[in-house]
Every structure is written in structure tokens, then in C-alpha cells.
Amino acid sequence: MTNFEHTRRQFVLPDGQLYFAGNSLGPAPKAAAKRVQQTIEAEWGSMVVKAWNTAGWMDQPDKLGNRLAPIVGATPDTITTGDTLSIKVFQALSSAVSMRPERRVILSDSGNFPTDLYMAGGLVNLLQSDYELRVVEPEGIMHALSENVAVVMLTQADYRTGRLHSMKDITQRAHEVGALTVWDLAHTAGAIATNLDTNKVDFAVGCTYKFLNAGPGSPAFIYVAPHLIDTASSVLSGWLGHARPFAFEPEYQAAAGIRHFRVGTPSVLAMASLDAALDVWDEVNINEVHSRSIELSELFIVEMAKSCPSLTLASPTDPYQRGSQVSFNCDYGYPLMQALIAAGVVGDFRAPDIIRFGITPLFLNEDDILKAVGIMQNIVDSASWDKPEFHARKAVT
Ligand SMILES: *Cc1c(COP(=O)(O)O)cnc(C)c1O
């Protein structure tokens, strides 16, 4: 059984903060600072360039992929890490599109995170020749899956409301019409059981700085289904995806296995931080994280309905239709969130009117939920959010 009191003790949780933004940037695992410092001193500092060979830096991206595999339900050697999620979205999508050369439609939904749609738009502009990014309402995806769709690209949990797409049903329908799937796990990796292998997903991508707590700008990851790995081309044919990077051959030849989805030099210090963040997961079961997330979310929703009835739940009420966050619509959401942050309840705001609370069982408990709701009730009842300082817009909301 996962011991959630033990996992909580493994994070740096600043005094006076009830932290509900772990779905945006996870808090620092205590081991991260030590691990990064060790990498700087004992590896970079003392071995310098020799460390590529002696400290295992070259294999780190794939080793970390294997540590991520059980968390997202993947078999070993199907995941590699590196770059940022936007890049991995482009890489997975371009690879998938090239495997359906007779089809011209990339299908996505209007609830998708903007960067995913921007990257897809960039790919369509590059390809030209009547390629189309077709964006439909989230509820319309099943209906829009037709035989001219090359790839359906979706984020499993909506970043504003937490609404989940059915990965299983959509993937199955996509395959029935001969399309491939690219799933973005930004808001589900480390939050719910994604079961990539059993859901027969073709490509998946995700970041490690949200529910996986590896630190700001930590490496992204890409998963490719075992039966596609060797036929899929990476498109971003960087030298570290080459079969023999240090032969410096003029012609590109893809490395065997998931390794050819690597692009360039790994960010070793960020990888060290990711490695430390994954230590927390050694004794954690993702199914238990998901059940615990549901318990905490249900408590939060019930208490909010009692204490702050004027806020409207924006997330689905059915816990199995929801990722690991709870959102509310509120006309004065921006100043309310600023007032909450000033009072130590750290969530975030997403335009036009959503306030979001990430529910992260590795370090949140019932006590945090009850305290946060109490603070929120005070602010709403007294309208103390309505002060000029809480209305001033910051660059990152
Ligand atoms: C957080 C998030 C991103 C961020 O992409 P970066 O390249 O890491 O900045 C992309 N897509 C989704 C769905 C996200 O939630």
C-alpha cells in the first residue's frame, strides 16, 4: 500500500502555503537539490567531459523513460525523455502523420491546450498540400473520426476543467477508421492510471514538471507503441537519435528502438532532478494515487458546495470523468485567486473565469482541503478579494 504520509514528508512544502498548484508545477522533492548538487560536484565538477562515459549521462534519457513506464502503464523500452512537451507534440504528430500518407486531416478539439494546437498548425503550414487541422468540440470527437483522419491528437484531461476524454473508446474508434492516436498526458501522467499499453495508444507525450514534480522546465517524454517503434520515423532526426552518433556520418540512420526518438544533447542537470523525483514513485502505486485523488476531490467538492455555494463547479461531477483537479467558474476568479494566494492557498487562474485547484495526494491531505475551504469561505463572504492589489494582472496567472 502506498503510504501517503511518507510521500508527503519527501517534499519541500513551504511554511504557510497550502499548495494546490501541483498540476502546474509540482513542489521540489527533498532529494532533488542533493541529487543536482551531487551531479554538479561529483560528475560535472570532477570528471568534466569524461562524465558522458563514466557517469552514464548518455543512457540517462532512456533509463528515465523506463522509470516512467510503470507510472503510465507502458512496457519497458517504449519511452524516452528529453526536450519540452511542445517539441514532443510536434515529433509524435509529424511521425504519426507520415505513417498515413494518403490522409490529410489532423483531428483535435477546442478544449486542447493552445501549444498543442499551435504546434499542429505549424506542422500543417509546413506540409501544405491540403493538410488540415480540424478542431471540433470535445464532445464531437467520436463523431468526427472518419476515414480521412490521419491522426487524432488529444489531451486526456482538459487543462481548465479536468474533463477526461475516454482514451480507450477514442483510441478504439480511431483504429476502426484506420487513424492513429497521439495522447497528451500533461495532466494525467502521475495523476491517474493511463494504461497506455492496454488502451492500445499509438503515441503519447507528456511533461514531468506537473504531477511528476521534476522541476521547472524538466524533460518531457514520448511513448511509442511497441509495434510502431521501429517503423515510425522520428522526423526530428537529431544526431543523438542516430545509430552511431560518434561515427559522424553524413547520412542519417535511425538508432534501433525508442532511442531514435531522442534529438540532441540531454539536459543532464534537469535529468538528475527528474531521477530524484522518480525515487518518490518507487513505493507508490498509481492506482492508489488515483483512488486517493478521488477521495480528496470529493471532499473538496462537498465542502465547497457547503461553504462557497456561489462558486459553480466547472469540473465534471463524476470522478471517473475528471482528472486530478477541481475547477470553479467565478466572475471575479482572477482577484479571488490573488487573494487566496496572499492568504496561503496557492491555486491558479485560467482565463476567462476559471480557478483551478490541483489535487495531488503525494503531498496533500484532508486537513489541507478543510483549511483551504475555510480560508476561501472567509474571503468570499467578506468580499476581501475586491482590493486594487488583487486586480493587478501578473505575467503568469
Ligand atoms: C503544460 C502543458 C504543455 C506545456 O508544454 P511545454 O512545451 O512544456 O511548455 C503542453 N501541453 C499541455 C496539454 C499542457 O498541459
CA distances from 277 to 140, 215, 225, 268 (A): 37, 9, 25, 14
Cα(334)–Cα(349) distance, integer angstroms: 6
Whether 209 is catalytic: yes
In the block, cell 482572477 appears at 334
**Secondary structure element (H or E) that encloses residue 189, with its range:** none
Whether 320 is catalytic: no
Atom of ligand 1 nearest to the CA of 116: 11
Residue 225, SS3 per DSSP: coil
How confident is the model at residue 313, as a pLDDT?
Answer: 98
Q: How many residues in total does the chain contain? A: 397
Spatial CA neighbour of 230 closest among 95, 55, 394: 95
Nearest-CA residue for ligand 1 atom 4 is 85
How confident is the model at residue 236, as a pLDDT?
Answer: 96
In the block, cell 544533447 appears at 265
Residue 198, SS3 per DSSP: coil
How confident is the model at residue 396, as a pLDDT?
Answer: 82
Protein residues with CB under 6 Å of any ligand 1 atom: 84-86, 113, 115-116, 155, 159, 184, 186-187, 207
How confident is the model at residue 149, as a pLDDT?
Answer: 98
Beta bridge partners of 29: 11
Which residues in the chain come in under a pLDDT of 70? Answer: none
Cα(370)–Cα(82) distance, integer angstroms: 38
Count H helices and E strands in the chain, helices first: 14, 13
Q: What is the C-alpha R_g of the chain?
A: 22
Q: Where are the beta strands (DSSP E) in the chain?
A: 18-19, 79-81, 105-109, 132-136, 149-155, 180-184, 203-206, 221-224, 312-313, 325-329, 345-346, 348-350, 354-358
How confident is the model at residue 397, as a pLDDT?
Answer: 79
Nearest-CA residue for ligand 1 atom 14 is 186
CB-based contacts of 125-128 (< 8 A; 24+ apart in sequence): 127/97
Exposure string over 51-89, b if 16+ CB within 10 A, otherwise e:
beeebebbebbbebbbbbbebbbbeeebbbbbbebbbbb
Distance spanning both ends of the chain, measured CA to CA: 36
pTM above 0.95, yes or no: yes
Question: Ligand 1 test: best mutation among 23, 81, 85, 118, most atoms within 8 Å of CB?
Answer: 85
Catalytic residue among 83, 184, 275, 348: 184
**β-pairing verdict for 180-184 and 149-155:** parallel
Beta bridge partners of 184: 155, 205
Q: Is the peptide bond before 14 cis (omega within 30 degrees of 0)?
A: no
In the block, cell 483551504 appears at 372
Please name the amino acid found at residue 271: M
Query: 278 C-alpha to center of ligand 1: Å?
Result: 20
Asked whether 286 and 71 are in contact (CB, 8 A), the reply is yes
Asked whether 165 and 138 are in contact (CB, 8 A), the reply is yes
Cα(26)–Cα(20) distance, integer angstroms: 9
In the block, cell 527528474 appears at 274
Question: Ligand 1 test: best mutation among 113, 211, 327, most atoms within 8 Å of CB?
Answer: 113
Asked whether 258 and 128 are in contact (CB, 8 A), the reply is no
Go through the domains of the chain in sequence order and give each one's CATH number. 4-29+285-391 (3.90.1150.10), 56-282 (3.40.640.10)
Q: What are phi and psi of 251, to 5 degrees?
A: -95, 140
Residues 6+ apart with CB under 8 A from 271: 57, 60, 61, 64, 81, 219
Spatial CA neighbour of 99 closest among 189, 201, 179: 179
In the structure grid, which three cell numbers stand for residue 61, read together? 534519457
In the block, cell 515529433 appears at 91
Cα(258)–Cα(240) distance, integer angstroms: 12
